[in-house]
Structure 1
């Protein structure tokens, strides 16, 4: 007596052989801004520009054009529009631009050093010019000129050092980013090397993922990958509630980890909307290859045997067994790559038995029943 079965028409499709791995979001750069000179903290960024220090009158007219004895006008005037009109105390967690003044150290001793170096340099320059004129008149000895030149060069170098130290009392942001931490307070003394600010750039982020060494050859720098996060399920195939972004591979480690046999891969992602946060876990889809004319069937149609796996199809009104070899999985479907001889026992337009496949045997008559639930293989992408 014929057995009632439901079937699915086998179709060939294009399939992407890919897999998902967890990745960790990292900031593009984390900069710890350190003091380069010692001094007492007089100002910490609070949304308002500080008062410009008074320039010593003794150097106001003789200071070189390249000197910056006072706070740079750009730093003094650079206050982000997002800063509040009245912000008591230091601000953390706000965006600062490159060049923004963030910490100002006491400058009194540094200005005194500059004045002393400038005065000595002016004197030595005048001495050198005077002796040069005497040499032209053959009144002074060449040795005196050499000594004057040496004193002048040393004085100018000392002046340059004093100017650089004075400039470094004004600490500015080296990059644009979020002012994540200000670990010092007004009135605190800092020494060279003391961290006074931490700036984090998250407008572009890196997603670090450890890829098994056997899959690394499928990847290349510049390749586009899909980043997903916020899924409603912890399984790799979860799609509910996901947000997807794309990024490009910017780094592939040449060395694999000896313990895990994985290589670090970094994917650069535009995060100008600040959607991703440093430390967030995301899912990265790694494509291996694009396959053409692939047969994908429901996994429930496969019957495990002691020495392999089989499926049943309907041919001439009877059930026919086909030994199959499985490939990759995608959702509830599996790729059929062939049979034990390397040839797929399934063909396009075959009628694959799904419900009822465990109640038939080779050559048994079957009766196909209509089904409203069975979806064709071409729908599985």
Structure 2
């Protein structure tokens, strides 16, 4: 057992040790604020890109129809091949039209002979009337007969020309150069000019058109933005158009707008727009569906943020912004089009806002954060060009 003196010396030491232990136990320490990277919003020029569905259309379509009655004797072209203008496509049995032409030619010869005789009679009567060998009435009748005979010649000449034209129409030719489609009739079929029987169709495929529609409200908004100086306008033929094909690939040729309708479709509330493309390889076919990425005007003072900084939820899109005293706040934004990895922000942010780009998983709205650094973003990309 300890002696009384030892117990007296140990007791103060125990009291001091307890006091030191109490001084060192200050409870659990608060974790440091999470580290985040930010992007400070700047005003930049952003291409104004619109994506629209479109349909391919031949630049010119010619329906080849029968212009005379007859029986198809032979098809003179290969279906699905390119033909030149005035190339023969079909032959209609020409025998009936040949007979009509021969008959008209004979009638012309007869009319010409009658006219010569009438002129000669009038010429013989002219000196006789001055000598009163014949009456003035007889001379006038001879002159009128000669004039009538000349008119008959002109009328018969027109019949010959019409018969020659019908004879030429028995060879059906291509009105334009292009790709000739499937024949709509076969040898032995009866065709009629009164019914304008369709024989085939020729389509010019190079260059080629793509038609799409633009909402009239969007066009009105664009015009207002141009007037207010928010958007920089460019001429119509300098508006670039990039096509995305049905398999997701980018069409190899870049096109441009060449037509903007000035009338609004009353049933759809949209305006027709057309673009023209080179189609030398015949990759675009009439009726094909594509997506057109139209890039022409530019937003002068646009705002973009990295795609990873935007949280898209059913109720809308938001970003986290570092506010006063480095406290996080959630900011709803209205998204425009996606430019590569950058979202165009139409509203909700202004220049100088500090948007969180990295560290979102640890950040909490209403809590402070520690800014680790500034995140750089790539330049605003234009529409993807064909290779």
Question: Same fold judged by TM-score > 0.5?
Answer: yes
Distance 1:20 1:186 in 2: 48
Deviations 1:180-205 (A, max 9, x none): 02122223332222222222221222
Alignment of 1:246-265 (within 5 A): 246-265=254-273
Task: Describe the shift of the 1:361–1:346 C-alpha distance in structure 2 as closer, same or farther (beyond 3 A).
Answer: farther
Change over 3 Å in CA distance of 1:182–1:8 after alignment to 2:
same
Alignment partners' CA distance in 1, 2:244 and 2:345:
31
Pick the aligned partner of 2:275 from 267, 270, 293: 267
CA drift at 1:23: 0.5
User: Which residue does 1:212 correspond to in 2?
Assistant: 215
Aligned-partner SS, 1:27: strand
Q: 1:182-261 residue pairs with structure 2 within 5 A?
A: 182-192=183-193, 193-216=196-219, 218=222, 221-230=236-245, 241-261=249-269
Q: 2:310–2:317: 8 Å Cα contact kept in structure 1?
A: no
Deviates more, 1:159-168 or 1:245-254: 245-254
1:33 equivalenced with 2:42 (yes/no): no
Q: SS of 2:253's equivalent? A: strand
Give the equivalent residue in structure 2 for 1:94.
81
| Cα distance in 2, alignment partners of residues 138 and 247 from structure 1 | 77
Question: Which residue of the other structure, out of 103, 106, 121, is the alignment partner of 1:134?
Answer: 121
Pick aligned residue for 2:95 from 100, 104, 108: 108
Using the size of structure 1 for normalisation, the TM-score is 0.72
Q: CA deviation at 1:166?
A: 1.0
Measure how far apart 1:154 and its partner are.
Answer: 1.9
Greater C-alpha Rg: 2
Q: Which has the higher helix share?
A: 2
Root-mean-square deviation (CA), in Å? Answer: 3.4
Distance 1:3 1:271 in 2: 56
Contact kept, 8 Å, 1:226 with 1:245, in 2: the verdict is no
1:159-184: CA deviation from partner (whole Å, max 9, x where unpaired): 12211111111111101111102122
SS in 2 for 1:215: helix
Matches of 2:246 and 2:100, distance apart in 1: 61
Deviations 1:75-114 (A, max 9, x none): xxxxxxxxxxxxxxxx211111101011111122211221
Question: Cα–Cα, structure 1 residues 184 and 355, in superposed 2: closer, same or farther, change >3 Å?
Answer: same
Alpha-carbon separation, structure 2, partners of 1:369 and 1:147: 104
User: What are the within-5 Å matches in structure 2 for residues 138-149 of structure 1?
Assistant: 138=125, 141-149=142-150
Aligned with 1:334 (options 331, 340, 343): 343
**What is the CA distance between 1:259 and its match in structure 2?**
3.4
2:356 maps to 353
Residues 187-231 of structure 1, C-alpha deviation per residue, up to 9 Å, x if partnerless? 333222222222222122221101111233559753433131237
SS at match of 1:93: coil
Residue 214 of structure 1 aligns to a residue whose secondary structure is helix
> Which TM-score applies when normalising by structure 2?
0.71
Q: Secondary structure at the match of 1:205?
A: strand
What residue in structure 2 maps to residue 153 of structure 1? 154
Unpaired runs of 5+ residues, structure 1, are: 47-90, 234-240
Task: Confirm or deny: 8 A CA contact 2:245 2:289 kept in the other structure.
Answer: no
* Aligned position for 1:282: 290
Post-superposition Cα deviations, 1:337-367, rounded to whole Å, max 9, x if no partner, equal 666xxxx5542xx764323356256683515
| Deviation (angstroms), 1:10 | 4.8
Equivalent residue, structure 1, for 2:306 = 298
Given the alignment of the two structures, is residue 368 of structure 1 paired with residue 335 of structure 2, yes or no?
Answer: no
Is the Cα–Cα contact under 8 Å of residues 245 and 291 in structure 2 kept in the other structure? no
Q: How far apart, CA to CA, are the structure 2 residues paired with 1:22 and 1:37? A: 42
